[in-house]
Amino acid sequence: MIGRHSDENYIQVLEGISIKTLVHGESTLMTEFRLSRGSQLPAHSHPYEQTGYLISGSLTLHAGGKSFTVKPGDSWCIGRDESHGAEVHEDSVALEVFSPARGDYIKYLAASDLEQG
């Protein structure tokens, strides 16, 4: 499966936060988040390991009882069931990979952006 770049098919999941699932396999799922300045991701947890990379923007990531200022090029890994949230300081774009693959995020996959191989 090859995901092709498109600026379409993002779904707003919270105020100022949109998601698009890019590709997935049996064990992992990759998403792109677009986050608007001033938006907040409330603290939550889930049974997935989450590895992320900030492409652009700035945010404060709260995870594991600590807070981190995150700038472009920074990355993170959040363990399964670890509480985390974020405050968005600038319009931002982040890539995140979940393991195991999140079945609930497959609905954010746009078939028109995929090429089967």
User: Model confidence over 43-83: pLDDT tens digits?
Assistant: 999 999 999 999 999 999 999 999 999 999 999 999 999 99
Nearest of 108, 116, 31, 44 to residue 82 by alpha carbon: 44
Hey, is 6 helix, strand or coil? coil
pLDDT at 117 over 70: no
Euclidean distance between CA atoms 68 and 89, whole angstroms: 12
**Tens digits of residue pLDDT in 29-48:** 999 999 999 999 999 999 99
Ordered by where they begin, the domains of the chain are 10-109 (2.60.120.10)
Q: Per-residue pLDDT tens for 3-30?
A: 999 999 999 999 999 999 999 999 999 9
Q: Are 101 and 25 in contact (CB under 8 A)?
A: yes
Q: Is the backbone peptide bond immediately before 72 cis, with ω within 30 degrees of 0?
A: no
